[in-house]
């Protein structure tokens, strides 16, 4: 049973966390016909490319800073109710721009949602600004420049999400150089839709401390050894991988093999309602479907906190909270 375990997650996209019921409310508020992407309380998509289209449609239902504050607070309150102590939210200022809200108001709304949830539940959260690869290199560079200048203490990392098959990592290197120079933590989606080469490119050119997914590195034993040597943390999202068809079933999922090879890994939900999952469900999958023991699962939570984009003082505070919660679950 993993319900009671302390939890942390460092990979969840904010619009991807919108419950379908909330999306339906937003659509009614703005008079949007959702027939093509939301049916019978579920999001509708068929493959990775269609998922990204569906994601953008859902994102377009959130149009004000108040909408984003509500979405963020709703998600973080739900995480806190699952004993989650820390969350990193991936946000894309492009989505704020595209809806006419603007990046500043978009980030202000998300920051307000984080404050409200923290006041209510004590959950700690940070923001990872992401460029969307399918919006092209110029857009990803502009987002990095925006993140570098943001001056928002909650913005601590930079990522690139979106269509991994578009271009090569080399086309986006400048964005990561800008973010690195600004002192932001770096992570990048790689080795999800594309194979091991995409992870190698990311290590060679971006030198991130973490990789979003990265699971397809398992196809190359030398690369697995390199990840283990470097200590790069893989933000693994098993339910997402199965829903998107990266693997046909949990038996084929390489998470356990990666951990056994010495790669640092942690559990994440990615876009939970799109994939019929939640962070609590990912922890359940880890025991029931992937064969992890409770100490191994607690080890993955510790890895997430060790890799979190926070300062050392906050990291120590979070690790203490994890230890206390862990001891309480052993004795209570
Ligand atoms: N954006 C939201 N979810 C994503 C995923 N799983 N891969 C790439 N981009 C994303
Ligand atoms: Zn993701």
Is the pLDDT at 328 greater than 90? The verdict is no
Domain boundaries, the chain: 7-18+62-331
pLDDT digits (tens, 9 = 90+) for 206-229: 999 999 999 999 999 999 999 999
φ, ψ dihedrals at 91, nearest 5°: -125, 150
Is the pLDDT at 137 greater than 60? The verdict is yes
Q: What is the pLDDT of residue 326?
A: 75
CA angle in degrees (0–180, nearest 5) for 304-292-5: 55
Instruction: State mean pLDDT over 238-256.
Output: 98
6 token code pair: 């302390």
Among residues 15, 73, 124, 192, the one annotated as catalytic is 192
Q: Which residues pair with 12 in a beta bridge?
A: 89, 270
Is the pLDDT at 332 greater than 90? The verdict is no
| Residue 272 Cβ contacting ligand 1 at under 6 Å | no
| Residue 37 Cβ contacting ligand 1 at under 6 Å | no
Q: Average pLDDT over the chain, rounded to whole?
A: 97
Distance 133 CA to ligand 1 centre (A): 10
Rounded to two decimals, what is the model's pTM? 0.98
* 161, 190, 241: residue to mutate for ligand 1 pocket, most atoms within 8 A of CB: 161
Q: Which among 53, 126, 123 is positioned nearest to 90, based on CA atoms?
A: 126
CA angle in degrees (0–180, nearest 5) for 119-160-204: 125
Minimal-distance CA residue to ligand 1 atom 6: 270
Q: What is the pLDDT of residue 1?
A: 79
Active site residue 306: no
The minimum-distance atom of ligand 1 relative to the CA of 274 is 3
Count helices and strands in the chain by DSSP H and E runs = 14, 10
Is the pLDDT at 331 greater than 70? The verdict is no
Q: What is the pLDDT of residue 76?
A: 98
Q: CA 199 to CA 181: how far, in whole Å?
A: 22
CATH of 7-18+62-331, one of 3.20.20.140, 3.40.1280.10, 3.40.50.10140, 3.30.43.10: 3.20.20.140
Sequence-separated (6 or more) residues with CB below 8 Å from residue 322: 6, 8, 85, 298, 301, 302, 305
Which ligand is nearest to the Cα of residue 9, counting in written order?
Answer: 2
Instruction: State mean pLDDT over 74-99.
Output: 97
Which ligand is nearest to the Cα of residue 163, counting in written order?
Answer: 1
pLDDT category of residue 313 using cuts at 50, 70 and 90: very high
Which ligand is nearest to the Cα of residue 133, counting in written order?
Answer: 1
CB-based contact 156:180 (threshold 8 Å): no
* 15, 162, 215, 235: residue to mutate for ligand 1 pocket, most atoms within 8 A of CB: 162
The minimum-distance atom of ligand 1 relative to the CA of 130 is 1
């Amino acid at each position: 049973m993993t319900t009671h375990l302390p939890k942390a997650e460092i990979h969840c996209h904010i619009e991807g966390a919108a419950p379908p019921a909330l999306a339906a409310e937003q659509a009614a508020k703005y008079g949007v016909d959702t027939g093509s992407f939301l049916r019978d309380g579920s999001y509708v998509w068929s493959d990775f490319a269609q998922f990204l289209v569906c994601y953008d449609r859902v994102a377009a239902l959130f149009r004000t800073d108040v909408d984003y504050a509500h979405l963020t607070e709703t998600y973080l309150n739900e995480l806190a109710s699952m004993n989650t102590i820390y969350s990193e939210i991936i946000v894309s200022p492009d989505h704020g721009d595209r809806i006419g809200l603007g990046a500043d108001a978009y980030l202000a709304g998300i920051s307000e949602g984080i404050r409200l949830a923290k006041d209510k539940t004590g959950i700690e959260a940070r923001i990872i600004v992401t460029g969307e690869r399918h919006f092209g290199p110029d857009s990803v560079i502009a987002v990095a420049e925006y993140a570098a200048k943001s001056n928002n203490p909650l913005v601590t990392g930079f990522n690139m999400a979106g269509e991994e098959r578009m271009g090569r990592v080399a086309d986006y290197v400048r964005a990561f150089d800008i973010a690195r120079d600004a002192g932001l933590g770096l992570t990048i989606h790689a080795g999800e839709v594309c194979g091991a080469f995409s992870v190698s490119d990311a290590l060679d050119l971006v030198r991130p401390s973490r990789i979003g997914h990265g699971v397809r590195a398992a196809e190359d034993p030398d690369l697995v050894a390199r990840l283990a040597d470097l200590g790069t943390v893989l933000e693994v999202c098993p339910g997402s991988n199965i829903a998107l068809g990266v693997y046909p079933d949990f038996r084929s999922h390489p998470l356990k093999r990666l951990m056994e090879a010495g790669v640092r890994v942690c559990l994440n939900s990615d876009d939970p309602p799109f994939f019929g999952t939640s962070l609590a469900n990912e922890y359940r999958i880890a025991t029931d479907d992937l064969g992890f023991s409770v100490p191994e699962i607690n080890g993955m939570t510790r890895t997430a906190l060790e890799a979190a984009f926070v300062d050392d003082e906050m990291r120590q505070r979070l690790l203490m909270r994890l230890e206390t919660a862990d001891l309480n679950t052993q004795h209570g």
